[in-house]
Amino acid sequence: MFTGVIGNDLKPYIPKFDLHLVDLNEESDEKLKSLKKRFLTNSLLTFKYHKNQGYIRKNFSFLIEVDNDIYQHTMLVFLIKNYDISEPEIPKLLKNSSKESKSKIMNVIDAYYADGEAKGIQKGRHNEKVQTTKKMVAKELPISLIAEILNVNEEFVKGVITGTITEIE
């Protein structure tokens, strides 16, 4: 990217290194599993088999077994979102996990789905208020009355009228 003469004052800030790429398909699972960091191992195996739903589901217990709660939560959310794993499916996928590990994982899963459910309810309430506002505007009710009835501010009502506030998909 940098051509021509570069002044000595800029040289320390220009990265100079070789990039080494590894084709994970060429690496054996045993070699990846021999790495000392479990999150790294599991991430690399997930990338290696990212198109193989069967592998991900068969090895779900292994892939989420990491030595850090934050990493485990990250791995769980990644796998659930990217592989369309439903809540009822998870206990079956955890059949190879220890009882203690299952309990901990299920607590994280419950919190994850509860958060999603709460966001869905909130989204539904928002969309309901938008629809009701539109109906009340069509009936030519005053903005202040609409805001009072729906327990929203007048800016919300004006936003619905102008189209800056819409339904959430």
Question: pTM for the whole thing?
Answer: 0.59
Residue 48 lies in a domain: yes
Report the C-alpha gap between 65 and 24 in whole angstroms.
20
Residue 74 lies in a domain: yes
- Cite the DSSP H helix spans in the chain: 29-33, 38-48, 53-58, 60-64, 69-82, 90-93, 99-138, 143-150, 154-162
Quick: pLDDT tens for 60-94: 999 988 878 888 888 888 998 898 888 888 888 88
User: Who has greater pLDDT, 31 or 98?
Assistant: 31
Residue 25 has what pLDDT? 93
Residue 30 lies in a domain: yes
Residue 33 lies in a domain: yes
Quick: pLDDT tens for 141-166: 999 999 998 888 999 999 999 998 88
Residue 152 lies in a domain: no
Q: Which domain holds residue 87?
A: 26-97
Q: Provide the number of structural domains found in the chain.
A: 1
Q: Are 136 and 146 in contact (CB under 8 A)?
A: yes
Residue 44 lies in a domain: yes
Residue 61 lies in a domain: yes
Q: Are 72 and 98 in contact (CB under 8 A)?
A: no
Residue 64 lies in a domain: yes
